Copies of this chain bind each other. A is one copy, B any other.
Amino acid sequence: MLELRLVQGSLLKKVLEAVKDLVNDANFDCSTTGFSLQAMDSSHVALVSLLLRSEGFEHYRCDRNLSMGMNLGNMSKMLKCAGNDDIITIKADDGSDTVTFMFESPTQDKIADFEMKLMDIDSEHLGIPDAEYHSIVRMPSGEFSRICKDLSSIGDTVVISVTKEGVKFSTAGDIGTANIVLRQNTTVDKPEDAIVIEMNEPVSLSFALRYMNSFTKATPLSETVTISLSSELPVVVEYKVAEMGYIRYYLAPKIEEEEDTKPE
């Protein structure tokens, strides 16, 4: 039997919004450790990895490991029916082909049960090895979202270049080119406004803006985003989920021919 009670139910709503544009169907895996999901996007280019640790739930009961295949569009439809202050409980009986989402209003006057059919989904669980990254940038998530959206109005590809002084986002398109430079800045009033650059080695990598824009759907989850870059590895774009976990997006760099790589 499975029963996971999340007082801050809006987190689950936001998590779904952060995943559902990228992935249609996926298995949620439930173990004593936590509630997690790992899935490739539908075009098999990007990978999403979500973890909500069991300690983050007010009540967490998971008698045995369970993998529940869900259509994320349908799940999102149901979670949109939860109020932002509602407590959400996920319930499933062993061997059942349904999962129930229960929404309790803070005053307990309104209680809703939404029962959704589960699906059988083939999935290969990819091992993601821990890696050392050449450069790690931490910045306000809203700023990252704004930059990806702005550059999309000019081009399709963003080149992210990190030096000690700052990080540069560049693109080029039919109407012209754009370069946006953020300087390292740790002397800010609010720590979440800082732009922190840990650079072991400078990097300059190209990515499809389409995916970056999908990743920024996670912006409401966290005030900061961490971007980890290495020339030989997929970029990791990570948003923390309160104190209880994270959502991480992985995307391989674009290998472009010489003549396409000069956005500036």
A interface residues (Cβ-Cβ under 8 A, vs B): 71, 74, 77-78, 80-81, 98, 107-117, 143, 150-151, 153-154, 175-183, 185, 195
Contact = CB atoms under 8 A, between A and B. Distances in A.
Given A117-B175, A175-B71, A175-B117, A153 B112 contact: no
Given A71-B175, A175-B116, A178-B114, A154 B77 contact: yes
Contacts of A110: 143, 180-183
Contacts of A151: 81
A153 B183 contact: no
30 contacts: A71-B175, A77-B153, A77-B175, A78-B153, A78-B175, A78-B176, A78-B178, A80-B150, A81-B151, A81-B153, A81-B154, A81-B178, A98-B176, A108-B183, A109-B185, A110-B143, A110-B180, A110-B181, A111-B180, A111-B181, A111-B183, A112-B150, A112-B178, A112-B179, A112-B180, A113-B178, A113-B179, A114-B154, A114-B177, A115-B176
Contacts of A178: 78, 81, 112-115
Nearest to A107: B185
Contacts of A181: 110-112
Contact of A150 (B81, B113, B150, B183): B81
Copies of this protein, total? 3
Given A81-B153, A111-B181, A74 B195 contact: no
Nearest to A179: B113
A53 to B, nearest CB: 27
Contacts of A109: 182-183, 185, 195
Contact of A176 (B107, B116, B183): B116
